[in-house]
Chains A and B, each alone.
Chain A
Amino acid sequence: MRAEIERFLYLEARLLDERRFEEWMNLFAEDGWYWVPAAPDQKDPYDGVSIFFDDRRIMKTRLERLDHPRIHSQKPASRTMHALSNIEIDEEHGEEGEVLVRSNLTMFEFRLDKQTVYGGRCRHSLRIRDGGGFEIAWKRVDLVNCDGVFETLSVPF
């Protein structure tokens, strides 16, 4: 199980780094969501604003934009490296039929001669598919600088 989860999370990271955004989105369940709060320890996405709070519909809009010929903030495109560590399977929490996985994320982003480093704690709730394998029921990334001053963000964490 642990090996399978790690394989899944590493695949997710690689799809983002290879800018295979549609395949990344398809790792999410149809009712799945992706959340990056703008405040530490936010309990509910409707308590305040978020850096990302995407259901599949907004995810699709956002990712189609990443392929748009006139997305100026991605000309040139960012190069990224998502590294995951400290992977823990949380057996106490987690919802019925899902596995809650905690990990630490480091993301390097390079664009226009500037390298930026992001760090955050991730939670993935992985739903076990009937035929085996996982889909992401939800993914939450708590950036250490979530309420800090940002420059433009375009690529998901």
Chain B
Amino acid sequence: MRGEPAMAALDDRALRGLVESDRVHRDFYTSPAVFELEMERIFGRAWLIVGHASQVPEPGDFVTATLCRHPVIMSRHADGEVHLMFNRCAHRGAQVCTEPRGNARRFECPYHGWVYETDGRHAGAPYPKRYASGFLKGGEFDLAKVPRMAVYRGFVFGCLSADGPGLDEFLGPMKSHIDAMVDRAPDGEVEACAGTFRYRFGANWKIQMENQNDLYHPMFTHASTTARDGTQFRRHGAEDDEAGRVRLLKENEALNEQWEELAIGGHRYGHTYMERFPMDRGQSGPVHERYRAAMEASYGERAAEAMAVKHHNSIFYPQWSIQYLTQHIRVMNPVSVDCTENVIIPLKLKGAPEEMWRAALRSNNNSHSPSGMVMSDDMEVWIRCQRGLASPGREWVVFARGMNEERIDNAGSFEGRGTSEANARHQHAAWLDYMCGEA
């Protein structure tokens, strides 16, 4: 039965009424009440990325960030460990740090001068005698830690819930997608040392989630990024040749049937991915040869496998993705039901030739800066979706493309192909699990 969902009370029945196998109700994107529940049941329980440990290389280094709308500090303490705590004084609640990044000996609250060590430990309050004896002792007034923190290959994660699956279980087979990025570095490490881009757009967070693995849109949304022969501007590679220019369209703007050959898929907890574009040609040339030599020195027989770009992008539901071609992670923070803020963090492959890093920086500038030729058309489309969905003329959004073609296994993974909307359907199923208590 397809009925209109009753939005008066957001019980399980109402929530289940928003998501059907091949369509979702527009309230899924536009209801502030649904959004507030998502913050609690999805963002309050999933492992969320904060950044990369290389953003705080030295003791005392810190960055401030947002974790599901909460201000947090990621810092490296004198003991060399990374700590993740809420940016809120234990006394009257003021943020103790407002710089985006820096190095601090201690964090000092501007209100009454309470101070904290860079691991969050309370280091004292001025004029303590007016507190009852023993009141300030015992760690009760430390900066509150994010309930759980974990690091995988340098990427720092926080979880707002003390219970639930560990990071290892949460990532599951998606760990190999993080490895696929990090293993491309001859030194086996990536570094977030190029700053960030931040931008904000007026659309619900799930619209971007559904878009990133959508192979049905590039030839239309990004038509303006292609030259007359259907190729895009250079997206990767340091060599001054045609490799690295992806052919989105065939000549005369005809669609390229190679899109349909691409593997897509997903794993438990709503994570999805798509394979590297088949029309993206392999790199060659003297810089690439130096890179190959460095990789062979590190990885031996595994080098060719390790240096291969395997995926185009991989989404770690509900909040971040890796873009392999341009070499960055995209952190996607919901702000409100109709506003999302992105942070783009480029990744340097440690030990790779400098020319490759310079090319990656330029590729990030050209495609994913606020003026990026790829991002600006995407954002425009997401905003238009949000505005269109305000219309009551039609209640449902359709995700029926390639319906029932995907192969699903018992562990919650699936494999699909091409321009199917299976990845979005997989995210919707995970949404239901989170929202109706089965995640």
Inter-chain contact B379/A68, CB cutoff 8 Å: no
Quick one: closest A residue to B221, CB to CB? A72
Residue A154, interface by CB 8 Å: yes
> B67-90, CB under 8 A of A: which get 1 and which 0?
000000000000000000000000
Inter-chain contact B197/A72, CB cutoff 8 Å: no
Residue B290, interface by CB 8 Å: no
- Cα-based distance from A154 to B376 in the complex (angstroms): 7
Inter-chain contact B194/A49, CB cutoff 8 Å: yes
- Cα-based distance from A151 to B197 in the complex (angstroms): 11
Inter-chain contact B380/A152, CB cutoff 8 Å: yes
Residue B223, interface by CB 8 Å: yes
Inter-chain contact B358/A50, CB cutoff 8 Å: no
Contact A50:B377 (CB < 8 A) given known A38-B195, A72-B221: no
**Nearest-Cβ distance from residue B230 to partner chain A, whole angstroms:** 13
Residue B199, interface by CB 8 Å: yes
Residues of chain A with a CB closer than 8 A to B194's CB: 47-49
Which of B369, B371, B380 sits near A72, CB closer than 8 Å?
B380
Question: Within residues 149 to 201 of chain B, which ones have a CB less than 8 A from any CB in chain A?
Answer: 193-201
- Cα-based distance from A50 to B415 in the complex (angstroms): 37
Residue A134, interface by CB 8 Å: no
Quick one: closest A residue to B335, CB to CB? A149
- Cα-based distance from A72 to B217 in the complex (angstroms): 13
Residue B224, interface by CB 8 Å: yes
Which of B221, B362, B366, B370 sits near A150, CB closer than 8 Å?
B370
Question: Within residues 30 to 78 of chain A, which ones have a CB less than 8 A from any CB in chain B?
Answer: 36, 38-39, 45-53, 58, 61-62, 64-65, 68-73
Inter-chain contact A149/B200, CB cutoff 8 Å: yes
Residue A148, interface by CB 8 Å: yes
Residues of chain A with a CB closer than 8 A to B379's CB: 73, 151-152
**Nearest-Cβ distance from residue B241 to partner chain A, whole angstroms:** 14
**Nearest-Cβ distance from residue B417 to partner chain A, whole angstroms:** 27
Residue A153, interface by CB 8 Å: yes
Inter-chain contact A58/B366, CB cutoff 8 Å: yes
Inter-chain contact A71/B370, CB cutoff 8 Å: no
Residues of chain A with a CB closer than 8 A to B362's CB: 53, 58
Quick one: closest B residue to A155, CB to CB? B371
Residue A147, interface by CB 8 Å: yes
Residues of chain A with a CB closer than 8 A to B199's CB: 149-152
Inter-chain contact B364/A49, CB cutoff 8 Å: yes
Residue B381, interface by CB 8 Å: yes
Residues of chain A with a CB closer than 8 A to B39's CB: none
Residues of chain B with a CB closer than 8 A to A71's CB: 224, 377
- Cα-based distance from A49 to B197 in the complex (angstroms): 8
Quick one: closest A residue to B369, CB to CB? A51
Quick one: closest B residue to A35, CB to CB? B365
Contact A72:B377 (CB < 8 A) given known A48-B194, A49-B197: yes
Inter-chain contact B376/A48, CB cutoff 8 Å: no
Inter-chain contact A52/B223, CB cutoff 8 Å: no
- Cα-based distance from A71 to B371 in the complex (angstroms): 13
Residue B100, interface by CB 8 Å: yes
Residues of chain A with a CB closer than 8 A to B223's CB: 68, 70
Inter-chain contact A49/B369, CB cutoff 8 Å: yes
**Nearest-Cβ distance from residue A155 to partner chain B, whole angstroms:** 9
Residues of chain A with a CB closer than 8 A to B123's CB: none
Inter-chain contact B197/A38, CB cutoff 8 Å: yes
Inter-chain contact A152/B201, CB cutoff 8 Å: yes
> A139-157, CB under 8 A of B: which get 1 and which 0?
0000000011111111000
Inter-chain contact A150/B200, CB cutoff 8 Å: yes
- Cα-based distance from A58 to B227 in the complex (angstroms): 12
Residue B399, interface by CB 8 Å: no
Inter-chain contact A153/B370, CB cutoff 8 Å: yes
Inter-chain contact A65/B380, CB cutoff 8 Å: no
**Nearest-Cβ distance from residue A40 to partner chain B, whole angstroms:** 11
Question: Within residues 120 to 141 of chain A, which ones have a CB less than 8 A from any CB in chain B?
Answer: none
Which of B195, B198, B220, B373 sits near A149, CB closer than 8 Å?
B198
Inter-chain contact B369/A50, CB cutoff 8 Å: yes
- Cα-based distance from A39 to B373 in the complex (angstroms): 20
- Cα-based distance from A79 to B227 in the complex (angstroms): 25
Residues of chain A with a CB closer than 8 A to B224's CB: 65, 68-72
**Nearest-Cβ distance from residue B323 to partner chain A, whole angstroms:** 13
- Cα-based distance from A50 to B344 in the complex (angstroms): 12
Residue B341, interface by CB 8 Å: yes
Contact A61:B233 (CB < 8 A) given known A49-B365, A52-B365: yes
**Nearest-Cβ distance from residue B327 to partner chain A, whole angstroms:** 11
Residue B346, interface by CB 8 Å: yes
Chain B residues at the A interface, C-beta cutoff of 8 Å:
100, 193-201, 220-221, 223-225, 227, 233, 341, 344, 346, 357-358, 361-362, 364-366, 369-371, 373, 375-377, 379-381, 384
* Cβ contacts A to B, 25 pairs, < 8 Å: A38-B195, A39-B195, A46-B357, A47-B194, A48-B195, A49-B195, A50-B361, A51-B197, A53-B362, A53-B365, A64-B227, A69-B224, A70-B223, A70-B224, A72-B221, A72-B224, A73-B379, A147-B195, A149-B341, A151-B379, A152-B370, A152-B371, A152-B376, A152-B379, A153-B371
Chain A residues at the B interface, C-beta cutoff of 8 Å:
36, 38-39, 45-53, 58, 61-62, 64-65, 68-73, 147-154
